[in-house]
């Protein structure tokens, strides 16, 4: 019988029983009743193009040939219909929820739901079972998508609602002229569109990316190399265009323009040309695909020249009922592009998909992750070519390449390594079981030793982290200070605070590092380091030398600093003398302020080489302190941590140079004032004849 033949109003008794259950128990009842309904003919459990209509199980793998998979599905469905597998499926469901079998409230509600559903329309049954209130019909579809995290149960519920005739809350898009496909049904089933319409060969992680775009406003994909991130992104653009009427999709990639034209836009154009019937009504031009008025995909070039304001303007003012931004190689896209997109994300159904290789924990994409973006790791181990050892997806990463990189860029654990922290240390990873015995050939024709499944290995080249594991390395290439060192120092500081409060270690007079604001938007920052313990940094605005000098002197006097190392570059040259004058007037005799010219020549040499400037020497000293001193403690200051981790270094003409101030401003969108103040505390070891000193006793 049809589930629309009977009108049904849920009984008050059933409503009361359902309201006494937890949301998870209500979902359990929905799932069991759905399966039972499929068995008695009220509804078939239709989930995806390759799922059995009788038992709901998915047949075949994403990488299998389409014809082979369809044949296997037909054979499977025939067997299910003959053997009554639906009832076995119900038994498995009942077993899964066996922990509630002795819960009388759950059992009573399940029995009542079975009785009502068996004699009335599934539309109202699902409504009351999912929400407990019949007034929520227009929002039910959205609740199913947002509230049900299990993919199979969510798709089953959506299919059930479709069969019951429940209208979606969002306006449906129209099928193209001459097509009998209603693409609106794919709004909640991107996999159905990508595999069923575009015939895409997708991995499970690629399907996860598409579903994340459906469910989350901001999705960030940390990707290894050769795993198909751009392939799936191009097809997601077409799914969004087709499924949502009057939608707008804006696709961009890091400069130069060739990156967009050849890679991301190339995938979009290729999918359209492979399916001319599906896109017969679409106008395909250069970086523009139009399905109708205010309904298109645009490729947006990011100019490498011009001002930041001009680049931001190219992505501002984009508005539509359904809006999708796709950014490929997002770590190399300027911050102003993200600002422009952010201004468009406040209203309507807006989505942002960012794909990148996670080389270092800094920049605008890392800030998105810290702000709570949904993150997916598209690593090489999850790719079927690597997992099976066969070329399931031609042109993608291969097992041979992955095994060679593991051997060249990591080493096995040895007896002197501490296994206690392997799970939490980004410099370690575990070889997957399916790579047990896998080997690869060296360039000289010999073979690497076979890998051991389950073995822990230490990463020796950061490239393994972002090219294979799709995760941030513990320390990026040429990164001056590892975030892992910073986080360890912050954890030690917090443990100290739990035991001792905000009291610094006894027996120390602090070294005072004073960074001086150069421009109006910069900050003056005072840093006091008591041996290995750094007090919370103190920042204030203003570029008045007299005011800054007086405040810095007052802070140093209050803390009885043994020495104040003051940035004497540019406008800062007047701060140290002003501190001396302040102490002379206040009568404080123990203050010493030294004018440190960080652009001066260095005063020491390290094993790695000479330094270019004194600034490089101070930054390196801080690096070695955090790297080697187990008593180093930093306050949990996110700006300070980001400042420190933004520094890189290079060896040029035999001399060590760290990132210059201008490049750090571009990266952080501000001056690294807090890091500079901390670096200055390491000037206390510079010979006294180098800087000029001022005190309350006179110069």
- DSSP-assigned beta bridge partners for residue 221: 355, 376
pLDDT of residue 249: 96
Q: Are 99 and 210 in a shared domain?
A: no
What is the C-alpha to C-alpha distance for residues 403 and 105, in angstroms, rounded to an integer?
54
Residue 4 lies in a domain: no
Same domain, 127 and 238: no
Higher pLDDT: 640 or 347? It is 640
pLDDT tops 60 at residue 274: yes
* Residue 645 tokens, joined: 């981790």
| Percent of residues, the chain, with pLDDT higher than 90 | 47
Bridge partners of 530, per DSSP, are 533
Q: What is the pLDDT of residue 258?
A: 86
| Cα distance between residue 582 and residue 131, in whole Å | 70
Distance CA 343, CA 347 (A): 9
End-to-end CA distance of the chain: 100
Whether residues 70 and 196 fall in one domain: no
pLDDT tens for 656-690 read 999 999 889 888 888 999 999 999 999 987 764 45
Question: Is 480:658 a contact under the CB 8 Å cutoff?
Answer: yes
Mean pLDDT of all residues in 462-487: 87
Residue 465 sits in the same domain as residue 488: no
Strand, helix or coil for residue 374: strand
Residues 141 and 197 in one domain: no
Same domain as 239, residue 158: no
Same domain (yes/no): 574, 432: no
Both 490 and 583 in a single domain?
Answer: yes
Is pLDDT at 252 greater than 60 in this prediction?
yes
pLDDT digit string (tens) for 226-246?
999 999 999 999 999 999 999
Kindly report the number of other CB atoms within 10 A of residue 143's CB atom.
14
Per the domain annotation, does 169 fall within a domain? no
* Dist CA 592 CA 577 (whole Å): 10
Rg (CA), the chain: 31
Bridge partner list, 374: 219
Same domain, 190 and 152: no
Task: Let me know whether 217 and 329 are in one domain.
Answer: yes
Q: Report which of 429, 430, 446, 448 is spatially closest to residue 438, judged by C-alpha positions.
A: 448
CA 183 to chain CA mean position, Å: 30
Which structural domain range is residue 528 located in?
A: 483-695
Q: If we measure between CA atoms, which residue out of 321, 283, 290 comes closest to residue 172?
A: 321
Please report whether residue 170 resides in a domain. Answer: no
pLDDT at 124 over 50: no
Domain count, the chain: 4
Contact of 25 with 50, CB cutoff 8 Å: no
Model confidence at 22, pLDDT cuts 50, 70, 90, reads: confident
Q: Is the pLDDT of residue 143 over 80?
A: no
540 pLDDT higher than 90: yes
117 and 187 fall within a common domain: no
- Beta carbons within 8 Å of 624's beta carbon, 6+ residues apart: none
Do 464 and 488 fall into the same domain?
no
């Amino acid at each position: 019988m049809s589930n629309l033949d009977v009108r049904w109003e849920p009984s008050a008794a059933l409503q009361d029983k359902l309201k006494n259950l937890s949301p998870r128990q209500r979902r359990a009842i929905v799932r069991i009743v759905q399966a039972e309904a499929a068995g008695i003919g009220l509804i078939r459990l239709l989930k995806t193009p390759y799922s059995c209509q009788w038992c709901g199980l998915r047949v075949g793998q994403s990488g299998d040939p389409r014809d082979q998979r369809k044949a296997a599905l037909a054979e499977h469905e025939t067997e299910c219909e003959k053997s009554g597998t639906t009832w076995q499926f119900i038994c498995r469901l009942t077993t899964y929820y066996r922990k509630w079998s002795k819960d009388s409230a759950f059992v009573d509600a399940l029995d009542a739901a079975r009785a009502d559903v068996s004699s009335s329309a599934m539309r109202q049954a699902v409504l009351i079972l999912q929400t407990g209130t019949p007034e929520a019909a227009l929002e039910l579809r959205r609740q199913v998508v947002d509230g049900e995290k299990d993919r199979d149960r969510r798709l089953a519920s959506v299919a059930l609602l479709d069969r019951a005739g429940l209208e979606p809350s969002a306006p449906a898009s129209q099928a193209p002229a001459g097509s009998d496909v209603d693409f609106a049904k794919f709004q909640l089933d991107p996999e159905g569109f990508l595999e069923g319409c575009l015939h895409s060969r997708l991995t499970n992680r690629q399907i996860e990316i598409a579903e994340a775009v459906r469910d989350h406003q901001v999705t960030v994909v940390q990707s290894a190399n050769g795993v198909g991130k751009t392939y799936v992104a191009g097809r997601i653009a077409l799914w969004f265009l087709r499924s949502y009427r009057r939608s707008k999709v804006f696709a961009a990639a890091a400069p130069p323009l060739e990156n967009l034209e050849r890679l991301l836009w190339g995938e979009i154009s290729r999918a359209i040309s492979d399916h001319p019937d599906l896109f017969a009504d679409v106008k395909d031009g250069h970086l523009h695909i139009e399905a109708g008025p205010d309904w298109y995909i645009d490729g947006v070039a990011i100019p490498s020249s011009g001002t930041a304001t001009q680049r931001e303007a190219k992505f501002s003012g984009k508005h539509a009922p359904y809006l999708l931004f796709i950014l490929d190689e997002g770590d190399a896209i300027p911050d102003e592009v993200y600002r422009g997109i952010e201004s468009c994300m406040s209203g309507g159904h807006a989505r942002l998909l960012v794909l990148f290789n996670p080389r270092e924990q800094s920049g605008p994409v890392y800030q998105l992750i810290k702000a709570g973006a949904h993150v997916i790791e598209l690593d090489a181990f999850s790719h079927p070519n690597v997992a099976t050892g066969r070329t399931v997806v031609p042109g993608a990463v291969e097992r041979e390449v992955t095994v060679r990189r593991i051997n060249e860029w990591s080493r096995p654990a040895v007896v002197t390594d501490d296994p206690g922290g392997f799970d939490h240390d980004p410099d370690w990873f575990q070889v997957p079981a399916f790579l047990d015995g896998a080997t690869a050939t060296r360039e000289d024709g010999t073979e690497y030793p076979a890998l051991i499944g389950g073995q822990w290995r230490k990463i020796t080249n950061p490239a393994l982290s972002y090219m294979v594991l799709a995760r941030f390395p513990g320390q990026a290439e040429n990164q001056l200070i590892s975030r892992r060192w910073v986080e360890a120092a912050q954890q030690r500081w917090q443990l100290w605070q739990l035991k001792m409060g905000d009291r610094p270690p006894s027996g120390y007079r602090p070294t005072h590092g004073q960074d001086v604001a150069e421009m109006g938007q910069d900050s003056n920052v005072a840093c006091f380091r008591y041996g290995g313990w750094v007090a919370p940094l103190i920042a204030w605005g203003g570029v008045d030398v007299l005011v800054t000098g007086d405040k810095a002197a007052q802070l140093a006097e209050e803390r009885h600093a043994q020495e104040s190392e003051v940035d004497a570059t540019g406008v800062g040259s007047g701060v140290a003398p002003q501190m001396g004058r302040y102490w002379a007037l206040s009568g404080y005799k123990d203050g010493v302020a030294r004018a440190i010219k960080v652009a001066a020549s260095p005063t020491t040499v390290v094993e790695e080489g000479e330094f270019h400037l004194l600034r490089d020497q101070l930054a390196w000293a801080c690096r070695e302190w955090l790297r080697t001193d187990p008593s180093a403690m930093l306050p949990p200051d996110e700006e300070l941590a980001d400042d420190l981790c933004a520094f890189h270094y290079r060896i040029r003409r035999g001399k060590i140079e760290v990132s210059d101030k201008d490049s750090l401003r571009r990266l952080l969108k501000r001056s690294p004032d807090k890091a500079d103040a901390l670096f200055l505390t390491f000037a206390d070891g510079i010979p006294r004849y180098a800087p000029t000193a001022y005190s309350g006793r006179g110069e």
